[in-house]
């Protein structure tokens, strides 16, 4: 296998100075026959028992040139046409072209500027159809299926001389080179999540190769279509599963990490080293290289779950956080494994990205990029949050691979929901990433809005988990758009974050409240197991929920996933009188509670009447009408009425109007009115320092 | 004027106690202005929670349910809070003007061992109001320049090599920078205070007084710095106590709420002192 690869490199690799590969037409037939044979043999050997349909398979040979921040590569794509129709053209993503200028769709949607030194791009030098040995480079056409932006070159269409027959495959040999972008361009909220780090020898190479789109086979009788969106400002990715066999050549003193498993490493006479990685049943491949990494590894072990090798690639200044990283990834693997299903890959690589880049906080199959702070007290759970969240993407994105362009909530929302639950389970209920000595230092924050953001958004940094940390942004953008809207169709990142992360997490917590935690756990587990290594949609998730719960949930999904209405239940009034039975002489209390539906969402909600003798009476209001009066006849006087006493509907936009006391309780009012007064007293004294 | 820094602090506190009525006057002014700012928010708050169960949660400190209430409260009233900002700015300006007025009286108080009558205090305050206002405006302008310089320095750093630094190095650089800004600010405060003292005590024209104040500060750097450092240390200790107390005060009973209120107000009085 190594020697075959040596032949491949000798013939197929290029002089870095020469961008155009030599055309050795005379040996093409033999050469490609050998390569194809090798490809067919080597990839299945990597994993004998395929988990997925392996539609898009890649064999890539890439060389990094740190001096110019560029890569030079060749790629063999083996693509399988699963449909019943011939396919005459292929669509490819060229994601790196998003950083080519300020006029690309990605940059325009981020309203961003990018200096010429920070830019990146990818150029295809040549494409050869291995079936016919014909050079089809001239058939490349840049297309902009989403916005017709002529300056965007993140998608290409390649017209084939000969269509790919139904259930047949095609192999393309693609030569390309790419300039990596600076992985921190100041683009808000995120710049390139890959590239080179300024001031450090650090490369994170992701979305870097010509990547074939997803050919949707369509319903029976319908023709298929390509799903290959441009690279947008906020949305992420979508690709078919396959097997990857990647050889990475870097300077010999670099440490390399990548998706999948390392099969070999060879030192070359030119001062470089070549590492070979294989990853199967994945839909992307990323890698990283730096001389600074401290690499550590351990084995994850937990009863009932398969052993997994954890490879941790730390920044040197974070060496003291090694134990914390391993503990966090252990926690994530334990809960994801036991709640949803075992992690099936042999390893997971955790890359600690320098915090001067935007690389941290991204997920790739079997590899996650995270970051941490240099001073990071144990009470500050930001590291835990990012590690658990990114590992969670191995499930929601990695294995259950929805279309992130179109239905980002299926991975980001589910993962935010799962992350919150795991943080609560693993690190304590109501834990916070900003807690000092067990107290939320609310006093440190101003009490009014800052730049239009409620102070709550600052508290959002506190991230009181499950499910309250999603509230600030949701409250601000509650009606901005439906969860089902395509991510690239929303006006800005905050709205995207709301419909992809925060609102879906609140919706899932609400669904859990409606159906009960056990049913919800069953739904999530079933959804994972039915759709791992597939491309599910919202409708698939709804179907699973209905199957597991045995209930029709159209009312729930139509309002929360496909609608923009909000929930706001309120207790409008509570009053009572004492009634004496003249015949028996006994007396009772008659309490009238008026409840109202201020929001448009209709759903059942629990109503509780609490009495002075600690007795509670629970009932359910259908929540269909705008208001309703409930009458209770009791032996003791009422104390308060409360809607949703168990907080089953955390998506309610105003929880403080969910309850009403018969008598005012003034102690907290006194405490907090004084706190507000005292705050201003201190502020005035601080200003008085000037005089 | 030959007096050690700690001695100066001791004498200052002694004279404040002797003129306790003035301290009470400042306290009343402080609480009045704070009340003007707090009442609209407080009344809205009272309306929102007095009959809601959210109140009970808030009594326990900021647990997650209270955070949830807070988030909703701010969100529901965001227009109102935004509209408060100009009002807050105006009250702060008025407060500073009043402080400038009082400063004339205070410098007179501290320049004499005798207890000053309220009439004299007000008379001194009005005599020196405009010169002291000019000093304060100069002080604010100078501080503005310091902070502007700092922000330019920060952005220049980020544009250059700063971005390439590892996080801890950035933090270290920031600490140095803020240390320097703090030091320069203290020097500005210091100079302004001596100029104010010279304005009140001496009888020369305004600019001579400014020169005299600067010259005094230059001749007695240790003493003057000592006064400031003592003041800063005391203030820092008081503020630290304040926050520690706040962290501790997760009140549950009426007595505890009462203790919190009394202690908070005593801290305010001490800060005024």
Q: Supply the DSSP string of A621-685, one letter for each residue.
A: E---SSEEEEEEEESS-EEEEEESTT---TTBS-SGGGEEESS---HHHHHHHHHHHHHHHHHHH
CATH number of domain containing A118: 2.60.40.1730
Are A503 and A650 in the same domain?
no
φ, ψ for residue B101 (rounded to 5)? -60, -45
Average pLDDT, rounded, for chain A:
86
Cα A440 to Cα B66: distance, rounded to the nearest angstrom = 10
Confidence check: pLDDT of A209 > 70: yes
A positions 640-669 inside 8 Å of B (CB): 640, 642, 653-661, 664-669
CA A57/CA A278 separation, integer angstroms: 11
Report d(CA A506, CA A649) in Å as an integer.
8
Q: Do B54 and A659 count as a contact with CB atoms less than 8 A apart?
A: yes
Rg (CA), chain B: 23
Question: Which residues between 73 and 92 in chain B have a beta carbon less than 8 angstroms from any beta carbon of chain A?
Answer: 73-76, 78, 81-82, 84-85, 92
**Chain B from 123 to 182: CB within 8 A of any A CB:** 132, 136, 139-140, 143, 161, 163-168, 170-171
A481 within a domain of the structure (yes/no): yes
Using a CB-CB distance cutoff of 8 angstroms, which residues of chain A are in contact with residue B52?
A: 656-661
Judged by CB atoms closer than 8 Å, whether chains meet at A656 and B242 is answered as: no
Minimal CA separation from A667 to chain B, in Å: 7
Three-state DSSP at A521 gives helix
Which residues lie across from A73 on neighbouring strands?
A62, A176
- In a domain? residue A154: yes
pLDDT tens figures, A304-350: 999 999 999 999 988 999 999 999 999 999 999 999 999 999 999 99
Please report the ipTM that was assigned to this predicted complex.
0.77
- Distance (Å, rounded) from C-alpha A140 to C-alpha B99? 74
Contact call for residues A499 and A483 (beta carbons, < 8 A): yes
- Cα–Cα distance measured from residue A399 to residue A51, given in angstroms and rounded to the nearest whole number: 10
Model confidence at A454: pLDDT above 60: no
CA–CA separation, A116 and A181 (whole Å): 10
Q: Are A270 and A61 in contact (CB under 8 A)?
A: no
- In SS3 terms, A372-418 reads as CCCCCCCCCCHHHHHHHHHHHCCCECCCECCCCCCCCHHHHHHHHHH
The 10 Å Cβ neighbour count of residue A242 is 26
* Shortest CA gap A305–chain B (Å): 34
**Contact assignment for A471 to B140 by CB distance below 8 Å:** no
Is pTM, for the whole model, over 0.95?
no
pLDDT band at A27 (very low <50, low <70, confident <90, very high): very low
Domain shared by A20 and A166, yes or no: yes
* Beta-sheet strand order (sheet of A347-352): A294-302, A305-314, A347-352, A367-370, A362-364
> Would residue A338 count as lying in a domain?
no
Find the residue in A nearest to B48 (Cα): A656
Q: Is residue A53 part of a domain?
A: yes
Q: Is the pLDDT of residue A434 over 70?
A: no
Residue in B42, B68, B99 nearest the CB of A655: B68
Q: Is residue A213 within 8 angstroms of chain B, CB to CB?
A: no
Check if the beta carbon of residue A248 is closer than 8 Å to that of residue A229: no
Together in a domain, A68 and A90: yes
* Cβ–Cβ below 8 Å for A672 and B49: yes
Mutate to test the interface with B, among A575, A650, A656 (most CBs of B within 10 A): A656
Q: pLDDT tens-digit profile of A575-611?
A: 999 999 888 888 999 999 999 999 999 999 999 999 9
| Contacting residues of A for B76, CB less than 8 Å apart | 654
Query: Does B33 touch chain A if contact means CB atoms closer than 8 Å?
Result: yes
CA dist B86 and A40 (Å) reads 72
Q: Are A313 and A295 in contact (CB under 8 A)?
A: yes
Query: Of the residues A560, A577, A597, which one is the last residue of a structural domain?
Result: A560
Tell me what percent of the residues of chain A surpass a pLDDT of 90.
69
Judgement on whether residues A110 and A184 belong to the same structural domain of the protein: yes
Count of domains observed in chain A: 3
Q: Residue A126's closest CA among A205, A25, A37? A: A25
User: Which residues of A are less than 8 Å from B262 in CB distance?
Assistant: none
Residues A539 and A641 in one domain: no
Contact A493, A233 (CB under 8 A): yes
Predicted local distance difference test score (pLDDT) of residue A375: 65
DSSP bridge pairs for A178: A71, A122
d(CA A444, nearest CA chain B) in Å: 9
* CA-based nearest distance A652→chain B, Å: 10
In a domain, A650, yes or no: yes
B58 CB within 8 Å of a chain A CB: yes
Return the axis-axis angle of helices A414-427 and A503-515, rounded to nearest 10°.
70
Question: Splitting chain B (273 residues) into consecutive groups of 10 residues, what average pLDDT does each group show?
Answer: 59 72 84 89 84 76 63 78 84 87 75 68 80 84 82 60 43 66 77 75 63 63 57 60 51 71 79 72
With beta carbons less than 8 A apart as the criterion, state whether B143 and B136 touch: no
Q: Which residues of B touch A509 (CB under 8 A)?
A: none
Per-residue pLDDT reduced to its tens digit, A459-503? 333 334 444 567 777 888 899 999 999 999 999 898 999 999 999
Among chain A residues, the shortest Cα distance to B55 is held by A668
Q: What's the rounded mean pLDDT across residues A626-631? A: 98
Tell me: do A538 and A633 sit in the same domain: no
What pLDDT score was predicted for residue B225?
Answer: 57
Q: Are the C-beta atoms of A282 and A366 separated by less than 8 Å?
A: yes
Residue A445 near chain B (CB below 8 Å) = no
| B 210-269 residues inside an 8 A Cβ radius of A | 242-243, 246-247, 250-251, 254, 257, 260-261, 264-265, 268
Report which DSSP code applies to A336: H
Enclosing H/E stretch for A178: strand A169-179
CA gap B264, B273 in Å, rounded: 14
- From residue A167, give the alpha-carbon distance in Å to each of A55, A58, A82, A89, B262: 10, 18, 5, 15, 81
Contact A236, A404 (CB under 8 A): yes
Please state, in angstroms and rounded to a whole number, the distance separating the CA atoms of residues A638 and B216.
72
A159 and A277 both lie in a single domain: yes
Domain limit, last residue, from A259, A291, A323: A291
A654 with B271: Cβ contact below 8 A: no
- Cβ–Cβ under 8 Å, residues B118 and B105: no
**Measured between CA atoms, how close is B261 to chain A, in angstroms?**
7
Task: Say yes or no: B201 contacts chain A, CB-CB below 8 A.
Answer: no
Residues of B in contact with A437 (CB under 8 A): 247
Closest CA to A494 of A505, A507, A510, A478: A478
Q: Give the number of residues written for chain A.
A: 691
Same domain? For A149 and A80 the reply is: yes
DSSP string covering A66-105, please? TTTTEEEEEEEEEEE--SSS-EEEEEEE-GGGGGS-TTSH
- 3-class secondary structure per residue, A373-386: CCCCCCCCCHHHHH
Residue in chain A nearest B258 by alpha carbon: A671
Q: Is A118 within a domain?
A: yes
CA distance, residue A626 to nearest chain B CA (Å): 21
Of A356, A452, A674, the CB nearest to B164: A356
Is A267 part of any domain?
yes
For residues A470 and A493, what is the distance between their CA atoms, to the nearest angstrom? 15
Q: In percent, how much of chain A has pLDDT > 70? A: 84
**A:B CB pairs within 8 Å:** 220
Contact flag B53-A661 (C-beta cutoff 8 Å) = yes
DSSP β-ladder status, A294-302 and A305-314: antiparallel
Please judge whether A680 and B55 are an interchain contact, meaning their C-beta atoms are less than 8 angstroms apart.
no
Is residue A683 one of the residues assigned to a domain? no
Closest residue of A to B232, CA-based? A689
Return the pLDDT at A298: 98
Matching residue, tokens 């018969």: A662
Q: Which domain holds residue A412?
A: 408-429+465-560
Q: From the candidates B53, B99, B147, B267, which should be mutated to test the interface with A, based on the most A CB atoms within 10 A?
A: B53
Beta bridge partners of A597: A569
- Tell me the three state secondary structure of residue A354: coil
| CATH number of A579's domain | 2.60.40.10
Q: What is the CA radius of gyration of chain A?
A: 29
B224 Cα to chain A: minimum distance (Å): 16
For B226, the 3-state DSSP assignment is helix
Choose the weakest-confidence range: A229-243, A395-409, A653-667, B58-72: B58-72
Instruction: Report yes or no: A638 and A644 within 8 Å, Cβ to Cβ.
Output: no
Closest CA to A246 of A260, A227, A234: A260
Tokens (6 digits) for B52? 């809601």
Q: Which of A291, A309, A325 is the last residue of a domain?
A: A291
pLDDT at residue B226, as a whole number: 58
A102 and A42 fall within a common domain: yes
Q: Contact A354/B268, CB-based, under 8 Å?
A: no
Note whether A447 contacts B: Cβ–Cβ < 8 A.
yes
- A71 and A157 assigned to the same domain: yes
Q: Does A315 touch chain B (CB under 8 A)?
A: yes
The per-residue pLDDT for A19 is 35
Looking at chain B, which residue has its C-alpha nearest residue A458? B71
* Band of pLDDT at residue A429, cut at 50, 70 and 90: low
Q: How far is A459 from chain B (nearest CA, A)?
A: 8
CB-based burial, B82-119: b 16+ in 10 Å, e otherwise: eebeeeeeebbeebbebbbbbbbbbbbbbeeeeebeee
Q: Are residues A57 and A162 in the same domain?
A: yes
Comparing A155-169, A219-233, A523-537, which segment has the lowest mean pLDDT?
A219-233
Token output for B123:
């008379």
Same domain for A631 and A529: no
Q: Which two tokens stand for residue B124?
A: 């001194």
Q: Which residues of B touch A449 (CB under 8 A)?
A: 74, 78, 81-82
Task: For CA atoms A644, A645, A650, A652, give the dihedral sign.
Answer: positive
Backbone phi and psi for residue A208, each to the nearest 5 degrees, phi listed first: -115, -10
Question: What residues of B are in contact with residue A354 (Cβ under 8 Å)?
Answer: 166-167
In this prediction, residue A443 has a pLDDT band, given cuts at 50, 70 and 90, of: very low
- Once rounded to an integer, what is the mean pLDDT over residues A204-210? 97
Q: Does the CB of A16 have a partner CB in chain B at under 8 Å?
A: no
Nearest to B164 among A199, A464, A676 (CB): A199
Query: Comparing A218 with A171, which gets the higher pLDDT?
Result: A171
Residue A214 tokens, joined: 């997803």
What CATH number is given to the structural domain containing A519? 1.10.390.10
| A668:B56 CB<8 A | yes
């Amino acid at each position: 296998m190594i020697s075959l690869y040596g032949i491949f490199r000798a013939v197929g690799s290029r002089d870095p100075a020469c961008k155009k590969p030599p055309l050795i037409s005379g040996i093409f037939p033999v050469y490609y026959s050998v390569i194809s044979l090798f490809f067919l043999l080597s990839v299945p050997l990597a994993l004998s028992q395929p988990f997925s349909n392996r539609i898009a398979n890649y064999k890539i040979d890439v060389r990094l040139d740190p001096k110019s921040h560029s890569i030079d590569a060749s790629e063999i794509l083996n693509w399988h046409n699963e449909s019943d129709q011939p396919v005459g053209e292929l669509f490819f993503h060229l994601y790196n072209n998003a950083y080519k200028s300020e006029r690309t769709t990605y940059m325009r949607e981020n309203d961003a500027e990018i200096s010429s030194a920070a830019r990146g791009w990818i150029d295809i030098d040549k494409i050869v159809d291995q079936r016919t040995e014909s050079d089809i480079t001239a058939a490349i056409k840049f297309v902009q299926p989403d916005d017709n932006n002529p300056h965007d070159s993140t998608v290409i269409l390649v017209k084939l001389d000969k269509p790919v027959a139904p259930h047949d495959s095609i192999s393309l040999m693609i030569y390309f080179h790419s300039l990596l972008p600076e992985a921190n361009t100041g683009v808000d909220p995120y710049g390139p999540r890959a590239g080179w780090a300024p001031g450090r020898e650090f490369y994170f190479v992701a979305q870097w190769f010509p990547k074939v789109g997803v050919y949707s086979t369509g319903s029976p009788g319908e023709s298929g279509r390509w799903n290959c969106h441009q690279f947008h400002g906020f949305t992420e990715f979508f690709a078919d599963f396959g097997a990857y066999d990647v050889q990475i050549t870097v300077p010999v003193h670099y440490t390399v990490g990548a998706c999948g498993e390392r099969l070999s490493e060879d030192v070359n006479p030119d001062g470089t080293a070549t590492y070979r990685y294989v990853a199967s049943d994945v839909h992307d491949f990323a890698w990283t290289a730096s001389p600074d990494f401290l690499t550590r590894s351990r084995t994850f072990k937990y009863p009932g779950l398969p052993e997994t090798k954890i490879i941790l690639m730390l920044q040197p200044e974070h060496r003291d956080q090694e134990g914390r990283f391993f503990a966090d990834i252990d926690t994530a693997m334990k809960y994801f494994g036991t709640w949803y299903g075992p992690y099936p890959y042999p390893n997971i690589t955790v890359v600690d990205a320098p915090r001067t880049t935007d690389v941290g906080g991204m997920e790739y199959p079997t590899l996650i990029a995270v970051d941490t702070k240099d001073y990071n007290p144990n009470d500050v759970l930001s590291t835990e949050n990012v590690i658990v969240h990114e590992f969670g993407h191995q499930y929601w994105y990695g294995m259950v691979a929805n279309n992130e362009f179109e239905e980002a909530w299926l991975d980001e929302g589910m993962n935010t929901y799962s992350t919150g639950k795991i943080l609560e389970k693993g690190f304590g209920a109501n834990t916070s990433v900003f807690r000092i000595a067990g107290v939320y230092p609310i006093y440190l924050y101003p009490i009014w809005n800052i730049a239009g953001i409620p102070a709550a958004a600052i508290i959002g940094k506190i991230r009181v988990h499950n499910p309250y940390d999603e509230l600030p942004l949701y409250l601000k953008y509650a009606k901005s758009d439906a969860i089902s809207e395509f991510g690239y169709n929303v006006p800005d990142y905050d709205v995207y974050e709301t419909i992809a992360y925060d609102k879906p997490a609140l919706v899932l917590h609400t669904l859990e409240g409606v159906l009960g935690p056990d049913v919800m756990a069953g739904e999530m587990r079933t959804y994972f197991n039915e759709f791992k290594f597939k491309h599910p949609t919202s409708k698939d998730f709804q179907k699973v929920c209905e199957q597991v719960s045995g209930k029709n949930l159209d009312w729930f999904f139509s309002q929360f996933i496909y609608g923009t209405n909000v929930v706001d239940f309120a207790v409008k009034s509570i009053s009572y009188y004492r009634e004496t039975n003249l015949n028996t002489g006994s007396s009772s209390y008659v309490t009238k509670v008026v409840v109202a539906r201020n929001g448009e969402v209709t759903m059942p909600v629990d109503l509780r009447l609490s009495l002075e003798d600690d007795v509670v009476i629970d009932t359910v209001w259908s929540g269909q009408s705008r208001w309703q009066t409930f009458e209770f006849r009791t032996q003791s006087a009422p104390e308060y009425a409360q809607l949703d006493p168990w907080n089953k509907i955390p998506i309610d936009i105003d929880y403080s109007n969910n309850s009403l006391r018969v008598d005012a309780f003034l102690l907290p009012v006194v405490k907090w009115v004084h706190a507000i007064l005292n705050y201003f007293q201190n502020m005035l004294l601080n200003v008085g320092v000037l005089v | 004027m030959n007096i050690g820094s700690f001695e100066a602090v001791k004498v200052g506190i002694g004279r404040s106690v002797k003129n306790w009525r003035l301290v009470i006057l400042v306290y009343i002014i402080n609480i009045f202005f704070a009340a003007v700012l707090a009442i609209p928010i407080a009344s809205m708050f009272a309306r929102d929670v007095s009959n809601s169960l959210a109140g009970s949660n808030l009594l326990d400190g900021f647990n997650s349910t209270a955070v949830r209430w807070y988030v909703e409260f701010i969100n529901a009233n965001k227009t109102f809070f935004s509209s408060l900002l100009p009002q807050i700015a105006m009250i702060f300006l008025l407060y500073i003007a009043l402080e400038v007025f009082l400063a004339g009286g205070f410098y007179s108080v501290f320049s004499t061992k005798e207890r000053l009558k309220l009439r004299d205090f007000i008379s001194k305050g009005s005599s020196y109001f405009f010169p002291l206002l000019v000093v304060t405006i100069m002080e604010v302008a100078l501080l503005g320049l310091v902070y502007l310089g700092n922000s330019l320095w920060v952005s220049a750093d980020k544009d250059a090599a700063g971005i390439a630094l590892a996080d801890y190095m950035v933090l270290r650089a920031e600490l140095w920078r803020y240390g320097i800004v703090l030091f320069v600010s203290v020097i500005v405060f210091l100079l302004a205070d001596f100029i104010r003292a010279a304005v009140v005590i001496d009888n020369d024209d305004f600019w001579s007084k400014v020169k005299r104040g600067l010259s005094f500060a230059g001749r007695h750097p240790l003493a003057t710095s000592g006064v400031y450092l003592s003041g800063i240390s005391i203030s820092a200790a008081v503020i630290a106590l304040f926050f520690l107390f706040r962290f501790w005060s997760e009140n549950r009973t009426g007595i505890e709420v009462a203790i919190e209120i009394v202690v908070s107000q005593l801290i305010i009085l001490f800060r005024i002192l």
